[in-house]
């Protein structure tokens, strides 16, 4: 048995001994035309400065490498969405930009001519090491990803490596990049992970709630006008027996009427962390005049976007395991390897779902149409509702057409959740802003299944069954077999 590493550690870039890269155009010292390799702290101190303001020693400010020889600037399909009012492209900080939704979004925004910076601690890659998990798709390091993007498009993506719970790091990042918008994906996002044991529950809430609080303080201190686009979750609402509105509900009680935040009934320590975030954001919009959009996103499926398709080194991660894998993605991989589809309990659990290509579209729409100062705006970000049984049926039918032998089984539900319930959630605000949904069609399922089949030799079937029980969570650290 191998004990899991404690995750009380935050990734302190100052502890990392690896050399890092500094772009020639941001360096106060003369730099070579290709790349400047800073290997010592003293050198980094001198090198890292921006507009006369030195960055602190532990801020790892890494930019894509100057690749003049390799660069072949392409005119990509997505025309610039950046407003013509200003010739200066909008600067978007993508926190969590090395993750599943964040990587696809960073590339999409860069493709649309936004100036993009990724901020990430790589804690998601660390979770894989801790739990012995791996993405279905091979994924390149962030440095390789960014260099490849630059070589294909000529576009820079700036990179700040660090933990947003470290306010010094975040402050320097804000002062250096000066974002117009911050898209915040940078949280521990798995409900099962948050229910493994006490330390994971605590980590999830600390990481998510404090990280978001730091982002709010950084906006207040350094970029008051900056628009926060925060990834929340449909799971904040739970499964009430009435229609779910977009953020707010108008209630008449004892003859008086008010519009109030929609009631929240989250059902994991992860989902609860999002509720806490929403409350903190709503309060700071009111108190400090921050402008924010909370994107209550449903379950995301798919992996390919126009940009990640451009090169295998731009591939996105694809989780299928029992901790980080989400329903439809898991079912496609299960069908590809001949594993029964794992329907938890009765399978009537209904959620909102969306294609990852719509995630990137929604974020872009939110950025392009910002909230007003002091406004706390909530959009429900999904395109269709399905029950788990619906998904199992769809994957079974699509798999059979491809000659796969697919069957679904009912697995004892490791979660505490309603398995048969009413569910009708509004999702009109993003459509009104111009979202053109990619709905789950037979052809999309075919392509997802074919994608899973292509990588099926990489599947570790021992990671498929759920192992985390909502009821059995304890204070004792959980271990994993090596
Ligand atoms: P992910 O785990 O793939 O990516 C999150 C990224 O954030 C990772 O790269 C991680 O290293 C980084 N990160 C986490 N904590 C950080 C910190 N303190 N400082 C800096 N970086 C940090 O997750 P994802 O699937 O891309 O989800 C992104 C966001 O969208 C999350 O907030 C999640 O709650 C939300 N969301 C995801 C889904 C989904 O189906 N994937 C659905 C609804 C909402
Ligand atoms: N489920 C199964 N079988 C599986 C996997 C899941 O029946 O093999 C069921 C779950 O019990 C649940 C539903 O499918 O009822 C969705 O589970 P999921 O694992 O696909 O998604 P969830 O845990 O809710 O979390 C995911 C993301 C999270 C995001 C959330 C959006 O990991 O970051 O916030 O989707 S939502 O569900 O709308 O809250």
Rounded Cα distance between 27 and 34, Å, is 13
Cβ(266) – ligand 1 distance below 6 Å: no
Residue range 91-463 in CATH 3.40.50.720 = yes
Helices (H), 52-122: 100-111
Cβ(342) – ligand 2 distance below 6 Å: yes
Query: What percentage of residues in the chain have a pLDDT greater than 90?
Result: 80
- Lowest mean pLDDT segment, chosen from 42-46, 192-196, 385-389, 448-452: 42-46
- Rounded distance from Cα 148 to ligand 1 centre (Å): 22
Which residues share a beta bridge with 440?
none
Rounded Cα distance between 48 and 22, Å, is 8
Q: Where are the domains of the chain?
A: 91-463
- Rounded distance from Cα 99 to ligand 1 centre (Å): 6
Cβ 137 vs Cβ 317: under 8 Å: yes
Q: What is the pLDDT of residue 443?
A: 83
Burial 234-267 (b: 16+ CB within 10 A, else e): bbbbbbbeeebbbbebeeeeeeeeeeebbebebb
- In this prediction, residue 444 has a pLDDT band, given cuts at 50, 70 and 90, of very high
Cβ(322) – ligand 2 distance below 6 Å: no
Whether residue 186 is predicted with pLDDT greater than 60 in this model: the reply is yes
Q: Cα–Cα–Cα angle for 109, 111, 117, nearest 5°?
A: 50
Q: What is the pLDDT of residue 479?
A: 80
Segment 242-292, tens digit of pLDDT: 999 999 999 999 999 999 999 999 999 999 999 999 999 999 999 999 999
- Lowest mean pLDDT segment, chosen from 78-82, 313-317, 398-402: 78-82
254 contacts: CB under 8 Å, gap ≥ 6: none
- In this prediction, residue 481 has a pLDDT band, given cuts at 50, 70 and 90, of low
Catalytic residues: 233, 270, 274
Whether residue 69 is predicted with pLDDT greater than 80 in this model: the reply is no
Cβ 133 vs Cβ 319: under 8 Å: yes
Segment 164-183, tens digit of pLDDT: 999 999 999 999 999 999 99
Burial 101-130 (b: 16+ CB within 10 A, else e): bbbbbbbbbbbbbbbbbbbbbebbbebbeb
Whether residue 324 is predicted with pLDDT greater than 70 in this model: the reply is yes
Cβ(427) – ligand 2 distance below 6 Å: no
Rounded Cα distance between 338 and 36, Å, is 49
- In this prediction, residue 103 has a pLDDT band, given cuts at 50, 70 and 90, of very high
Closest CA relative to residue 185, chosen from 299, 98, 283 = 98
- Coil vs helix vs strand at 353: strand
Please tell me whether the overall predicted TM-score, pTM, comes out greater than 0.85 for this model.
Answer: yes
Whether residue 17 is predicted with pLDDT greater than 70 in this model: the reply is no
Q: What is the pLDDT of residue 261?
A: 98
Rounded Cα distance between 437 and 358, Å, is 6
CA dist list (Å): 13 to 16, 157, 308? 5, 19, 27
Rounded Cα distance between 195 and 202, Å, is 10
């Amino acid at each position: 048995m191998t004990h899991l590493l404690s995750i009380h550690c935050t990734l302190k870039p100052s502890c990392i001994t690896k050399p890092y890269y500094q772009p020639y155009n941001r360096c106060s010292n003369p730099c070579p035309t290709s790349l400047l390799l800073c290997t010592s702290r003293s050198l980094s101190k001198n090198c890292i400065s921006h507009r006369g303001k030195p960055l602190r020693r532990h801020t790892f400010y890494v930019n894509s490498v100057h690749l003049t020889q390799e660069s072949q600037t392409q005119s990509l399909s997505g025309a610039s969405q950046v407003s013509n009012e200003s010739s200066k492209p909008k600067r978007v900080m993508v926190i969590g930009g090395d993750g599943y939704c964040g990587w696809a979004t960073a590339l999409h925004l860069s493709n649309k001519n936004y100036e993009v910076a990724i901020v990430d601690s790589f804690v998601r890659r660390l979770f894989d090491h801790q739990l012995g998990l791996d993405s279905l798709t091979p994924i390149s390091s962030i440095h390789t990803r960014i260099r490849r993007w630059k070589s294909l498009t000529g576009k820079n993506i700036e990179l700040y490596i660090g933990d947003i719970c470290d306010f010094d790091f975040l402050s320097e990042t804000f002062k250096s990049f000066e974002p117009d918008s911050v898209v915040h994906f940078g949280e521990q996002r798995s409900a099962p992970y948050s229910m493994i044991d006490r330390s994971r529950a605590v980590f999830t809430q600390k990481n998510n709630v404090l990280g978001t609080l730091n982002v709010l303080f950084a906006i207040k201190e350094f970029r008051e006008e900056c628009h926060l686009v925060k990834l929340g979750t449909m799971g904040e609402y739970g499964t009430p027996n009435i229609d779910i509105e977009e953020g707010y509900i108008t209630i008449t009680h004892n003859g008086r009427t008010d519009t109030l935040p929609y009631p929240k009934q989250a059902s994991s320590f992860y989902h609860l962390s999002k509720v806490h975030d929403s409350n903190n954001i709503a309060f700071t919009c009111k108190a400090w005049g921050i402008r924010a959009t909370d994107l209550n996103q449903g379950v995301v499926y798919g992996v390919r976007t126009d940009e990640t398709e451009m090169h295998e080194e731009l591939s996105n991660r694809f989780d299928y395991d029992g901790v980080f894998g989400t329903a439809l993605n898991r079912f496609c991989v299960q069908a590809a390897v001949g594993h029964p589809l794992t329907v938890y309990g009765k399978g009537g659990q209904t959620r909102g779902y969306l294609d990852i290509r719509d995630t990137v579209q929604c974020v872009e729409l939110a950025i392009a149409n910002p909230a007003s100062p002091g406004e706390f705006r909530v959009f429900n970000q999904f395109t269709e509702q399905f029950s788990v049984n619906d998904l199992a049926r769809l994957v079974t039918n699509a798999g059979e057409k491809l000659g796969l032998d697919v069957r679904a089984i009912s697995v004892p539900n490791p979660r505490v959740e309603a398995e048969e319930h009413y569910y009708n959630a509004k999702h009109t605000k993003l459509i009104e802003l111009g979202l053109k949904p990619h709905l789950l069609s037979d052809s999309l399922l075919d392509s997802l299944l074919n994608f899973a089949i292509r990588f099926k030799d990489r599947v570790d079937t021992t990671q498929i069954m759920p192992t985390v029980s909502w009821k059995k969570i304890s204070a004792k650290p959980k271990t994993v077999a090596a």
